[in-house]
Structure 1
Amino acid sequence: MDDSKRLWYIVQTYSGFENSVKVNLERRIESMNMENLIFQVMIPEELKTEKKADGTIKEKMVKIFPGYVFIEMVVTDDSWFVVRNTPGVTGFLGSSGGGTKPIPLKPDEINPILKKCGMLAVQRLNVQPGQQVKVANGTLEGQIVTVESIDEEKGKVHVLIEMFGRQTAMELDFTEVEVI
């Protein structure tokens, strides 16, 4: 199976029915032998803490996107049919109906969600602001730049580069720089 076709999609559900849709989908994937086309079913949640009136602190898991379930799958006529016809599923986000296939999430849309849910390792860059790094690829490959700030959540580093006799700010991905 070509992993490049394995992408994340968003399925709309009735609000409050996300968990039952997830269970129904997982049962249908198994009973209809779709394990090679539908890989993961996820309901993005995060831990919220709230302070009650009596001073106690309560932690609870809260759905980040109520009414939506995220599915990693390869869209074929069969896999699309299985998901679409699961009880509680009202449709795919990005599918306008009439047989049009859904639009997958782009990596820069799904990766922050996967990181927040602990499903994707957060890449670290072992540098500090003020330190110099080398641009590893792209049009500025080989250039030495100064780190201005680091956004670990997005995997981006903000740098200053000397261009035309003045400092210019740029945002680069962690994969685009090498520590020197």
Structure 2
Amino acid sequence: MNGFWYIVQVYTGHEKKIQFNLERRLASDSDSDKELREEILQINVPMSTTVKNEDGKRKERTSPTYPGYVLVNCLHEIGPHVDNGIGQRSWAFIQETPGVMNFLGNANPTPLTSEDLERMLHSSTVEEAPMPEITYSVGDKVRVIEGPFSSFTAEILGIDMQRQRLSLSISIFGRSTPLELGFLGVERL
């Protein structure tokens, strides 16, 4: 990878917005920013995708791998104390962007090593959320802990591991009534 990569601390939850703002400011038509466009090579927010299985539906959620941080790639070293003028201007340009709190290293930002950079850029893999451990079996008696039948006693009629649901039978006014709940909606008696 070319240049020097820095970690910029930003407001958590605003990583993509700050990336957009930095890129938009760099893309402005101003000739004075031409030098900055050549200096700031890339702005990156590493993202991770987590896959959950909720109510029998596969749901993917994408979020920043490192909440509150944005990676910035610059051609030269930057900071308020570097000898080259463009490094000082780049540092000030990034620092003045709304939502940016500081560089990692404050006034003396330290560039990432190539090993750290590689690990951070390629850690945005798909993670499968762990399935809850189920210790129930068909015929077990359980107590419902959520919904309108909370505190009722039920018998497990079936277990759907894929959808993470239990088929239950509840006795209401002496009649058996079927009910389906998620694994976390019951507790063992």
TM-score of the superposed pair, with normalisation by structure 1: 0.57
The alignment's C-alpha RMSD in Å is 1.5
C-alpha deviation, 1:117, in angstroms: 4.5
> Which residue in the other structure is 2:155 paired with?
none
> Which residue in the other structure is 2:109 paired with?
102
Q: Is structure 2 residue 88 aligned with structure 1 residue 77?
A: yes
> Which residue in the other structure is 2:53 paired with?
51
C-alpha distance in 2, partners of 1:116/1:8? 16
Counterparts in 2 of 1:93-172, with a 5 A limit?
Answer: 93-95=104-106, 100-117=107-124
Instruction: Give percent identity, aligned residues only.
Output: 35
C-alpha distance in 2, partners of 1:117/1:46? 4
Q: Is structure 2 residue 19 aligned with structure 1 residue 22?
A: yes
TM-score of the superposed pair, with normalisation by structure 2: 0.54
Contact 1:11 1:69 in 2 (8 A): yes
> Which residue in the other structure is 1:13 paired with?
10
Instruction: Point out which structure has higher relative CO (alpha carbons under 8 A, 6+ apart).
Output: 2
Alignment length (residue pairs): 109
Segments of structure 1 that go 5 or more residues without pairing to the other structure are 119-180
Go from structure 1 to structure 2 and tell me whether the alpha carbon gap of 1:117 and 1:7 turns closer, same or farther (over 3 Å shift). farther
| 1:106-154 deviation line (CA, Å, top 9, x unaligned) | 1111111223349xxxxxxxxxxxxxxxxxxxxxxxxxxxxxxxxxxxx
C-alpha distance in 2, partners of 1:29/1:101? 23
AA of the residue aligned to 2:19? K
Give the secondary-structure state (helix, strand or coil) at the position aligned to 1:35: helix
Contact 2:65 2:123 in 1 (8 A): no
Contact 2:15 2:64 in 1 (8 A): no
C-alpha distance in 2, partners of 1:62/1:17? 11
